[in-house]
Structure 1
Amino acid sequence: MEGSSKSTLRGGREGRSRSYGGHAMISYQWADQKLVLKIKESLRQKGYRIWMDVDHMEGSTLQTMAEAVQNASVVLVCMSERYKLSQNCRSEAEYAFSLEKKIVPLLMQRAYKPDGWLGMIKGTKLFFDFSGKYPFDQKLTDLVKELGEHGKTQQLTDEIDVGYDVMVTIV
Structure 2
Amino acid sequence: IIRKALTAAGELIPDDISMDIKRLPPIFISYQWGSQKTVLKLKENLEQAGYACWMDIGQMGGGDKLFAKIDAGIRGAKVVICCINKNYAQSDNCLREVHLTISTSKPVIPLQMEKQTWPPEGVLGPIMSEYLYIRFYDRKNNDANYWPTDKFTELLGQIRYHVAPDPDMITQQYYN
TM-score, length of structure 1 as denominator length: 0.69
Q: Percent identity?
A: 33
Q: CA deviation at 1:151?
A: 4.5
Matching residue of 2:44: 41
Conservation of the 8 A alpha-carbon contact between 1:109 and 1:131: yes
Q: Gapped runs of 5+ residues in structure 2?
A: 1-21, 168-176
Q: 1:101 aligns with which of 106, 120, 123?
A: 106
Conservation of the 8 A alpha-carbon contact between 2:25 and 2:53: no
- After superposition, the Cα gap between the structure-2 partners of 1:34 and 1:145, relative to the gap in structure 1 and judged at 3 Å, is same
Q: Secondary structure at the match of 1:75?
A: strand
Name the CA distance, whole Å, in 2 between partners of 1:118 and 1:43. Answer: 25
More displaced stretch, 32-41 vs 120-129: 120-129
Name the CA distance, whole Å, in 2 between partners of 1:50 and 1:145. Answer: 16
Q: CA deviation at 1:31?
A: 1.5
Q: CA deviation at 1:54?
A: 1.7
Q: CA deviation at 1:149?
A: 5.1
Q: Gapped runs of 5+ residues in structure 1?
A: 1-17, 156-171
Equivalent position amino acid for 2:130 in 1: T
Conservation of the 8 A alpha-carbon contact between 2:30 and 2:97: yes
Matching residue of 2:31: 28
Matching residue of 1:159: none
Name the CA distance, whole Å, in 1 between partners of 2:72 and 2:166. Answer: 22
What is the aligned-residue RMSD (CA, Å)?
2.6
Give the paired residue count. Answer: 136
- After superposition, the Cα gap between the structure-2 partners of 1:51 and 1:152, relative to the gap in structure 1 and judged at 3 Å, is farther
Q: Secondary structure at the match of 1:148?
A: helix
Q: CA deviation at 1:22?
A: 5.2
Equivalent position amino acid for 1:83 in 2: Y
Q: CA deviation at 1:133?
A: 5.5
Matching residue of 1:158: none
Conservation of the 8 A alpha-carbon contact between 1:49 and 1:152: no
More displaced stretch, 70-79 vs 29-38: 29-38
Runs (4+) of structure 1 exceeding 6 A deviation are: none
In the alignment, is residue 83 of structure 1 matched against residue 88 of structure 2?
A: yes
Name the CA distance, whole Å, in 2 between partners of 1:28 and 1:151. Answer: 21
In the alignment, is residue 122 of structure 1 matched against residue 128 of structure 2?
A: yes
Q: Which has the higher contact order (CA 8 A, sep 6+)?
A: 1
Structure 1 or 2, whichever has the larger Rg, is 1
Q: CA deviation at 1:91?
A: 0.6
Equivalent position amino acid for 2:134 in 1: F
In the alignment, is residue 53 of structure 1 matched against residue 56 of structure 2?
A: yes
